[in-house]
Amino acid sequence: MDQSASLAIPPNAKQISPATNGQPKPQRKRSKAFQQAVDIQKMLLADALNPETPARDRALVASAWEKLEERKRILRMKPKPKDVVASEFVAERKARRSAIRASKPAFLDEGQPEVSPPDSP
């Protein structure tokens, strides 16, 4: 029997990474609180999609959904997004523009004489 044929990897075999010592890559485990929030959201979604649910209750479901999303963000340890202050960006942009306009054009720095406009009669 040919030795190379016996050492061939079957096509359905899983590739094992040497960094994990042959073990499958561990999945990140969710905390119990996070999983409970997800389960509650599934129940809220079922209530919201139920055509017999009154509008008032759907509004309460939407409010509870938003609060659960905030809890999930906190459980993931993600910070709240910062507010964007547009006035700071506008002032910075204006300062950059004025600095560019105040500087000489690059082609004048190459030793070429400055050309004046022709005199009009």
pLDDT tens, position by position, 32-84: 999 999 999 999 999 999 999 999 999 999 999 999 999 999 999 888 888 77
pTM above 0.75, yes or no: no
pLDDT at 11: 66
Residue 47's CB is within 10 A of a number of other CB atoms, namely: 14
Specify the DSSP class assigned to residue 111. S
Look at residue 86 in the predicted model and tell me its pLDDT. Answer: 73
